[in-house]
Structure 1
Amino acid sequence: MDIAAEFLAAIINTFEANKRLADRAVEQVPDDMLHVPPDEHTNSIAVIMRHVSGNLASRWTDFLATDGEKPWRNRDGEFEDAPASRAELLETWERGWACLFETLRSLGPDDLEVTVTIRGEPHSVPLALSRSLGHTCYHVGQIVQVARIHAGEAWETLTIPRGGSAQYNEANWGQPGRSHS
């Protein structure tokens, strides 16, 4: 087994799965609610999406050659809710993810032995990958939670619905009580 290739594939797979969760959650939110935070201490979906996109673009542009915090990034500005249509927001969102996936797919096993910097702090490539994955998943969870709040009763679950584990297990493994966790 090629552990390096398996590790990179697992990282890509997990990023892809989390992007799908966020995308499916955002689809359920009306346009006028994308910029509405649940309360004064919480970010709107639009703000979180811009922050994730800015972070991904900064970290993954010239990943192996330059510091992950680019001088052109305006992190503080990502948290200001600037008016944008759904299309503009999704364009920004997709740009950050495209940068991530293009870079991840270009990495090879030898790249896992490289040291990169993020805000001047050295990171092994596996550590930088794990750090980015953790940060992104954290914010995807926020997007899903805020989307769930805004969708209300119209929400369509993104995973196995409450009370649906036995039915899911039976459909997938033929055994209603079986669990793989």
Structure 2
Amino acid sequence: MDIAFELIESMLVKFRSEKKWTLQALEQLSEEDITSSPTMESNSIANLVAHIRGAAHSRIETILFDIPDTRDREREFEKGLEMSKEQAIKMTREAFDIIIQYLERLQSNPELLMSQPFLNLPPLTYSQVNNETTALNLMIAMVREVHYHTGQIIYAAKMRKGQLVWQYD
């Protein structure tokens, strides 16, 4: 058994599952549900979606596609952030697709797990990882962060709808 392959495969299963459940929750919401905050101090689903997309951009898209980091993290958490349901679904798909694509690249090249993909890039913005981090540490951080925020999205969706309908396949 190749531990690197198994680890990457486990992460792929996790992110594909998170994508599926998050999109199913979003599909059941209204425009108002997307932008509503449970409390004055809480983030809306729009904020959480924007934050997940921002993290995928600044931490993965920059290395996968050599795109400069243009993330505006402050905007992700603006109170009253406007976002349509379609935008939320599109941003969610984009974020997960970026993460999954990077994991598939790692799966094809498991030796990259110990690489330091940010070493020669400008300092990371708003990140729990630094420029010396490995691809492995980056993906572990992404598993934790994305799971945390998708849990918040699903919980907020349940608060708005009461009961959500899930499609199991």
Scaled by the length of structure 1, what TM-score is found? 0.76
Inter-CA distance 72–23: structure 2 relative to 1 (3 Å threshold): same
Count of residues paired in the alignment: 155
RMSD: 2.4
AA in 2 matched with 1:111: L
User: In 1, distance between residues paired with 2:28 and 2:148?
Assistant: 20
Deviation at 1:134, TM superposition (A): 0.2
- The SS at the match of 2:81 is coil
User: In 2, distance between residues paired with 1:65 and 1:102?
Assistant: 11
- The SS at the match of 1:97 is helix
User: In 1, distance between residues paired with 2:166 and 2:40?
Assistant: 26
Deviation at 1:58, TM superposition (A): 1.7
Contact 1:52 1:93 (8 Å CA) reproduced: yes
Inter-CA distance 64–36: structure 2 relative to 1 (3 Å threshold): closer
Q: Once the two structures are superposed, what CA deviation does each residue of 1:76-97 show, in whole Å capped at 9, x if it has no partner?
A: 1111243232112222222222
The 4+ residue runs of structure 1 with deviation greater than 4 A are: none
Contact 2:116 2:132 (8 Å CA) reproduced: yes
Partner of 1:14 in structure 2?
14
User: Which residue of the other structure, out of 62, 73, 94, is the alignment partner of 2:71?
Assistant: 73
Contiguous gaps of at least 5 residues in structure 1? 160-181
AA in 2 matched with 1:76: E
AA in 2 matched with 1:147: A
Deviation at 1:44, TM superposition (A): 0.7
Larger Rg: 1
User: In 1, distance between residues paired with 2:87 and 2:139?
Assistant: 28
Inter-CA distance 95–64: structure 2 relative to 1 (3 Å threshold): closer
Deviation at 1:28, TM superposition (A): 2.5
Deviation at 1:121, TM superposition (A): 3.9
Q: Once the two structures are superposed, what CA deviation does each residue of 1:34-78 show, in whole Å capped at 9, x if it has no partner?
A: 100011011111110111111112211143797xxx531111111
Contiguous gaps of at least 5 residues in structure 2? 125-129
Partner of 1:169 in structure 2?
none
User: In 2, distance between residues paired with 1:110 and 1:62?
Assistant: 20
Inter-CA distance 8–93: structure 2 relative to 1 (3 Å threshold): same
Scaled by the length of structure 2, what TM-score is found? 0.81
User: In 2, distance between residues paired with 1:28 and 1:77?
Assistant: 25
User: In 2, distance between residues paired with 1:158 and 1:40?
Assistant: 29
After TM superposition, the structure 1 = structure 2 runs for residues 79-158 of structure 1, keeping only pairs within 5 Å, are: 79-80=77-78, 81-107=80-106, 108-117=109-118, 119=124, 120-152=130-162, 155-156=163-164
Which is further off, 75-84 or 125-134?
75-84
Structure with higher strand content: 1
AA in 1 matched with 2:102: T
User: In 1, distance between residues paired with 2:37 and 2:65?
Assistant: 37
State the identity as a percent. Answer: 24
User: In 2, distance between residues paired with 1:149 and 1:28?
Assistant: 12
User: In 2, distance between residues paired with 1:65 and 1:44?
Assistant: 29
